[in-house]
Amino acid sequence: TANATELDFIDAGFYGGVTQGGAPGYTSGGEVRQGAVRRVKGRPLVAMLKDLGRTHVDFWSLDVEGHEIEVLQAVDWDALTFTAILVEDNSINTRQLDFILTSQGYPKQQQLSLDSLYVRRDVSFPWRPWLHSKHKVWTAGMDQWLTSFVLERKAEILDILGSTCPPK
């Protein structure tokens, strides 16, 4: 959210999610969401990262069940930077998604089956820009790059996740 707010969240396990907004007509997995409705606090990404003393994220995987456009529109692009952003896009307007991220300096590098990968324009990228996923060599290279990217930053990622995710 752009501002701290309370949201209605349907607690329905895999099919759970925020009830307000999102992609028109979207339901998680095509299923009708059924479950207890709970009020949850939503906070701007910049505020959550500020609590951690961070203004940069190496790899952001954004998958919020049809609310990706809303989240991206609420990002304070002047205060935060990212190296790579992976966005689930199977239920949203990909033209709008491409426009938002490209205009912020993150051109699309790869279209995957359910996601799009955007990498900051000034980052040295080891392969050519976006090619259709039928190009197997490119897809295999992308998988290698993502795997090595995450593995090289594993300790930092686990440190961040450990400080932001409550123990179960």
Q: Do 68 and 121 reside in the same domain of the chain? A: yes
3-state class of 18 per DSSP? Answer: strand
DSSP 66-99: T-HHHHHHH--TTT-EEEEEEEE-TTS-HHHHHH
User: Is there a single domain that holds both residue 123 and residue 140?
Assistant: yes
pLDDT for 23: 46
| Single-letter code of the amino acid located at 114 | L
pTM tops 0.85: no
Q: Does residue 60 register a pLDDT over 90? A: yes
Mean pLDDT on 16-32 = 57
Mean pLDDT for the stretch of residues 140-160: 70
Whether 123 and 93 share a structural domain:
yes
Q: What is the pLDDT of residue 98?
A: 94
Position 116 pLDDT exceeds 50 = yes
Instruction: Tell me the β-bridge partners of 39.
Output: 8
pLDDT surpasses 90 at 79: yes
- pLDDT confidence of residue 24: 46
Examine the domain organization and report whether 38 and 50 are in the same domain.
Answer: no
> What gap in Å lies between CA 145 and CA 137, rounded to an integer?
12
Whether 54 and 28 share a structural domain? no
Of 113, 53, 124, 47, which is closest to residue 86 (Cα–Cα)?
Answer: 113
pLDDT at 149: 74
**32 lies in the same domain as 87:** no
Maximum Cα–Cα distance across the chain: 47
Q: Are 121 and 105 in contact (CB under 8 A)?
A: yes
Output 63 or 14, whichever has higher pLDDT: 63
Residues 34 and 91 in one domain: no
pLDDT at 8: 84
Mapped onto helix, strand or coil, the DSSP state of residue 112 is: coil
Residue 155 sits in the same domain as residue 120: yes
**Percent of the chain scored above 70 by pLDDT?**
72
Domain that holds residue 37: 5-42
Judgement on whether residues 108 and 152 belong to the same structural domain of the protein: yes
Answer yes or no: is pLDDT of 35 > 70: yes
Residue, of 48 and 5, whose pLDDT is higher: 48
Residue 163 has pLDDT above 80, yes or no: no
Question: In total, how many domains does the chain have?
Answer: 2
Cα–Cα nearest to 44, from 77, 86, 18, 88: 77
Question: Are both 119 and 95 inside the same structural domain?
Answer: yes
